Amino acid sequence: MNVLIVHAHPEPQSFTAALRDQAVDTFTAQGHQVQVSDLYAMNWNPVASANDFVSRENPDYLVYALEQRLGVKSQSIAADIQQELDKLLWADLVVLNFPIFWFSAPAMLKGWIDRVLVSGVCYGGKRFYDQGGLAGKRALVSVTLGGREHMFGEGAIHGPLEDMLRPILRGTLAYVGFEVLEPFVAWHVPYISDEARKDFLRSYQQRLTHLSDDQPLVFPRLAQFDEQLYPLA
Amino acid sequence: MNVLIVHAHPEPQSFTAALRDQAVDTFTAQGHQVQVSDLYAMNWNPVASANDFVSRENPDYLVYALEQRLGVKSQSIAADIQQELDKLLWADLVVLNFPIFWFSAPAMLKGWIDRVLVSGVCYGGKRFYDQGGLAGKRALVSVTLGGREHMFGEGAIHGPLEDMLRPILRGTLAYVGFEVLEPFVAWHVPYISDEARKDFLRSYQQRLTHLSDDQPLVFPRLAQFDEQLYPLA
């Protein structure tokens, strides 16, 4: 199996980085191929802009997704995007590894999503959800956060974490066709003991070792909707 | 009333920019003070990093929120952040004006949220939701998107748009204390006629003119939870 880990944390020694390393070690020990995109270390540019295209279909007015579609076809998309896209297409499993900032991904990672999940390859027209361009691949979101576990869930102060992560789990990963696994969550990370951190690393290792047993989350399938995307009765 | 419009779109002539201008005109005509942060025009840096602090409490290990809390107190936070924070504190109403990228904000705007909503001022300890540091201010999210209106809502292919926007509406704006108004949404924008666009601009103007009549969305209040943030029976 080919595994791409996309990691984004501003502190190189963070616990989130320890999760990344745990994943690299675990997958490698299983004989998988692993690539890591460490976005802060790469000084990744997260800003989608006109600069992402060597040449433009319409130099006077930028429609980003349209230029992506044409740019990827004519190989005139920026080199840093093309490199990440190549890794993405190579991967059977993509792990997004990040600290929760404002109940979502840091801008650094959001900008990887904005720029790398190009229209025409990852989605386009009726190619989304189960028909998405990356169908057949799996995705895992691994996050750290400051909150405690009891602050999340039905009736809890912040509601279910999966609801907060909906734009990523459903609106991004499921949208482009990934089978999306249940997120791995390390709670209350800035405040816990070293022993508690080691427990999280051990349970992450366990989880990753048996990842092939995981049932993906359930999302809409296009067959449930008509040609105009109204729900079928 | 003081109004801050935070605008993020990679195309200066976009319809999203027309919404921004409509808001400036409408609020100004009503006698309000308006400031605009046009993030692409400002070449805003969206990446939260160690560079955001002139001096560090802990130069060896970055805990971003902790350095924010200390940096804002000792006025050692980066100048670009301090400028935006000053605008935010000046504003009675904040408008986030952006195109939906992946069912959420473009990285450019996410990085404004990551960097400007500093711990110790906007939130911290038990100061969140109705007790948030920005309580008393109102926020409006104004978005453009490619999808059609019937693709959103209960039972629709993407579910309710408010559910997709939960990390922004609840996890960010409500979290720091804003009264959050119902989003203004311009649907299917890349594909509609000029007349349909003008209709959206007119209905936006109407909405903004009568904004004081709006009832904010309902979110958790800390009084519904105990000291450990478990829900009260």
pLDDT tens digits, B173-226: 999 999 999 999 999 999 999 999 999 999 999 999 999 999 999 999 999 999
Residue B149 belongs to what domain range?
2-224
C-alpha closest to that of A97 among A36, A35, A16: A16
Is B23 inside any structural domain? Answer: yes
Smallest Cα distance from B154 to chain A, Å: 10
Is B232 inside any structural domain? Answer: no
Is A232 inside any structural domain? Answer: no
- Res B62: pLDDT: 97
Q: In which residue ranges of chain B is pLDDT below 50?
A: none
The tally of domains found in chain A comes to 1
Q: In which residue ranges of chain A is pLDDT below 50?
A: none
Residues in chain B closer than 8 A to A158 (CB atoms): 170-171, 220
**Between B10, B102, B151, which is nearest A229 by CB?**
B151
CB distance A146–B230 less than 8 Å? no
Is A85 inside any structural domain? Answer: yes
- Res A21: pLDDT: 98
Q: Between residues 111 and 170 of chain B, which touch chain A (CB distance below 8 Å)?
A: 111, 113-114, 117, 129, 146, 148, 150-151, 155-159, 163-168, 170
Whole-number Å distance between alpha carbons of A90 and B187: 35
Smallest Cα distance from A228 to chain B, Å: 9
- Res A233: pLDDT: 77
ipTM: 0.97
- Res B233: pLDDT: 77
Whether the CB-CB separation of A125 and A165 falls below 8 Å is answered with: no
Question: Could you tell me the CATH number of the domain that includes residue B108?
Answer: 3.40.50.360
Is A233 inside any structural domain? Answer: no
CB distance A65–B146 less than 8 Å? yes
- Res A138: pLDDT: 98
CB distance B61–A13 less than 8 Å? yes
Is B201 inside any structural domain? Answer: yes
Smallest Cα distance from A28 to chain B, Å: 28
Whole-number Å distance between alpha carbons of B178 and B171: 11
Is A231 inside any structural domain? Answer: no
- Decide if A63 touches B, using CB distance below 8 A: yes
- Decide if B6 touches A, using CB distance below 8 A: no
Helix intervals (H) in B34-78: 64-73
Phi-psi region of B195 (alpha: psi -120 to 50; beta: other; left: phi over 0): alpha
Q: Between residues 21 and 60 of chain B, which touch chain A (CB distance below 8 Å)?
A: 40, 46-50
Whole-number Å distance between alpha carbons of B89 and B136: 11
Is A64 inside any structural domain? Answer: yes
Token pair listed for B118: 């500093």
CB distance B167–A171 less than 8 Å? no
